[in-house]
Amino acid sequence: MPSKRICLVLIAVGLAPLMGCGSPSIFSSSSTSHTAYVTLPNSNAVAAFRIKTSGSSVNNNAEAQFTTIVGSPFPAGSSPTSVLVHPSGKYVYVVNRNENDISLFTINSSIGSLQEVLPRTTTGLTPVSMVMDSGGSYLFVINELSSSISTYSINAGTGALSQIAGSPFTTFNNPFSLAIAPSGKFLYVVNPDLTSVIAYTIASGVLTPVAGLPAQVGNGPRAITVDPAGTFVYVTNSADNTVSVLNINPGTGALTLLGTFATGITPTSVVALDTYLYVGNQGSTNVSAFTVTPVTGVLTEITSSPFSVGIAPLFEVLDPDNLFLYVGSQTANSVTALSIDTSTGALAETSQSAATGVSPSSMGVTK
Amino acid sequence: MASKRLGIVCKRTAIFLFMVFSVVTAASSLSAGQIAPQWEFFGGYSYMRFDSPPLGYPSWSNLNGFNGEVTYNITRRFSVTADGSGGYGSMITAYNYMIGPQYNLRKDKSKYFAHAFIGKAENTIGITTLIKSGFESVGRAYAFGGGYDRDLTPRFTFRVMADYLHTDTFGTSQTDVRISTGLVFHLGHFGRRPKL
């Protein structure tokens, strides 16, 4: 039965490509993937990328691969400046700065494309930044011209926003950036015109100023973040080229300045990863990396820091698996992946980046 | 990146070996010739492993659909085949229209063949945005593959075949694998009829 044998062999050989031939199989992959959304104010759109990551966090032995999702960029409102991904991975929120509203997008679960759900939700004047609590129940939006904070509850089933009674809450003139404690109990706001951090307690989305004087920081506070443990608040002082470390009173949310540490030139972004802190220096086109001493909050710059990124970093976003620091540049019109060595905190440039075509302003990544 | 390229090279090598193996083994083992119809019309089910990651998908997509071919036999061994297929998956529709030469080796009720096609791919991603519904891209397509036919009656043949399919759409390239099976209808012939 030579013909039968031949037939079987031919079929087996023909199917070999499907089995992957011992190389990385087309049926499975050890890599993980996330979708990333980047606001493009000049295009009134949101770019969408799939980021496939693989490798180890040790010795910067990780790879990230960006792929533009078909249909990207997706139309948004006028001048979208800030983006957030809901923890469920189902919704994306974008503030449209020139339109004074928020776009809600649903994320297509198959490919990661965005479809906007109309109508848009009204904010105050010139919304510039927003944060969400870790449970995805409340959304807080800073209105720069209105000098207020709009607060919305989020419908878990539809993603729809409903403004909380009493919102918008008045704050100091021209608020610019905000951060929320992991507990969801405290909100912190900075204003480049002030040298202080305004603190609020949160109760069912309602904001109440923390008693006492605002905590003092440096000049031109620009970016703010809270560490994952909810112990420290970090503020970049873009006019002083420093970063301030403040301690959070876990009971009241009040802040106490612990210290101020030198960064590169014009620090405009900051992210905290466990005991590491990364400050993006737009003026010196690099990222300063620090280790954080527990309790005291003292920052010690990591060997080889600052790390050159070759572009002027405007924003930084951590990879959900903590393998990469994604850095966005308005001058390079791109988002670049820097690998993180989690044993030392050191960063390493990778050749991986995503071209956005126009200036990006913020980025959100699905978990 | 390097591992992906390695996988593609491996796939291409496997298909090339498949084609070479088809020709060599069949040529060495076949002597008597099967009847050669003038025309062959194939229709059947097609499964495609679609290379959707370059389009933004997290993994490869499984497409189910159809495959049809019309083959004109110029000689008992050489023919020209027009191939059309459609695959449907999660928000993906893939159509391919190709034509190319085919080499056939026949013995009694069996036929082994290898072919190479070139043509057009038309891929559509069914996503909806505020201003558009469905994103379509048309580009080049080419394929290499082969298969096996087994006569059921003088007019009908059972076929199974596999192809490596390359398409260039949405500004990226996709390297797919397509497996098809179905029936072939014969029309006209030269040579002797098989004993069934």
- Identify the weakest region by mean pLDDT among A195-209, B4-18, B176-190: B4-18
Q: Which residue of B has its CA nearest to A63?
A: B1
Is A111 within 8 Å of B127 when comparing Cβ atoms? yes
pLDDT for residue B36 = 84
> Count of alpha carbons within 13 Å of A114, Cβ hemisphere only?
32
User: How many interchain CB pairs under 8 A, A with B?
Assistant: 134
Closest chain B C-alpha to A227 CA, distance in angstroms: 31
Decide if B107 contacts A3 (C-beta within 8 A): yes
CA distance A120 to chain B (A): 12
Packed helices A2-19 and B2-29: angle between N→C axes, nearest 10 degrees: 170
| pLDDT over 50 (residue B21) | no
Q: What is the ipTM of this complex?
A: 0.79
pLDDT digits (tens, 9 = 90+) for A205-259: 999 999 988 899 999 999 999 999 999 999 999 999 999 999 999 999 999 999 9
Instruction: Report pLDDT for A57.
Output: 64
Q: Residues B157, B184: contact at Cβ < 8 Å? A: yes
pLDDT of residue A291 exceeding 70: yes
Which of chain B's residues have a Cβ under 8 Å away from the Cβ of A33?
A: 58
The average pLDDT across B110-127 equals 96
Pairing verdict, β A45-55 and A74-75? antiparallel
Closest CB to A10: pick one of B112, B125, B177: B112
Structure confidence at residue B3 as a pLDDT band (50, 70, 90):
very low
Mapped onto helix, strand or coil, the DSSP state of residue B130 is: coil
Q: How far is A219 from chain B (nearest CA, A)?
A: 42
Mean pLDDT computed over B28-54 = 81
Tell me whether residues A10 and B128 touch, CB distance under 8 A.
no
> Could you state, in order of their start, the residue ranges of all structural domains in chain B?
2-190
Best of A13, A18, A65, A94 to substitute, by most chain B Cβ atoms within 10 angstroms, is A13
- Residue A63's pLDDT is what? 83
Residue A232: predicted pLDDT = 97
> What is the share, in percent, of chain A residues with pLDDT greater than 90?
78
Q: Is the confidence at residue A19, as pLDDT, over 50?
A: no
- Within 10 Å of residue A58's Cβ, how many Cβ atoms? 11
Are residues A68 and A345 in contact, defined by beta-carbon separation less than 8 angstroms? no
pLDDT band at A309 (very low <50, low <70, confident <90, very high): confident
Residue B108 pLDDT grade (very low, low, confident, very high; cuts 50, 70, 90): confident
Residue A28 has pLDDT above 50, yes or no: no
Q: Does A1 touch chain B (CB under 8 A)?
A: no
Average pLDDT over residues A58-65: 75
pLDDT tens across B28-38, in order? 444 344 568 99
**Which of 3.90.600.10, 3.40.50.300, 1.10.579.10, 2.40.160.20 would CATH assign to domain B2-190?**
2.40.160.20
- Which pLDDT band holds residue B2 (cuts at 50, 70, 90)? very low
Q: Is the pLDDT of residue B182 over 80?
A: yes
CB contact under 8 A, B170 and A70: yes
Give pLDDT, residue B171. Answer: 93
Contact B56 A24 (CB under 8 A): no
Residues in A touching B21 (Cβ below 8 Å): 9-10, 13
Shortest CA gap A68–chain B (Å):
6
- Predicted local distance difference test score (pLDDT) of residue A350: 83
Say yes or no for a CB contact (<8 Å) between A116 and B25. Answer: no
Percent of chain A scoring above 70 in pLDDT: 91
**What pLDDT digit, counting tens, does each position of A136-160 carry?**
999 999 999 999 999 999 999 999 9
List the single residue in A with minimal CA-CA distance to B144. A14
pLDDT of A23 reads 36
As a whole number of angstroms, the distance between CA A53 and CA A127 comes to 33
Find chain A residues with C-beta within 8 A of B128's C-beta.
Answer: 115
> What amino acid is encoded at B36 in this protein?
A
- Using a CB–CB cutoff of 8 Å, tell me whether A350 touches chain B: no
Q: Give SS3 for B16.
A: helix
**Pairwise CB contact (< 8 Å): B57 & A50:** yes
Confidence class of residue B189 from pLDDT cuts 50, 70 and 90?
confident
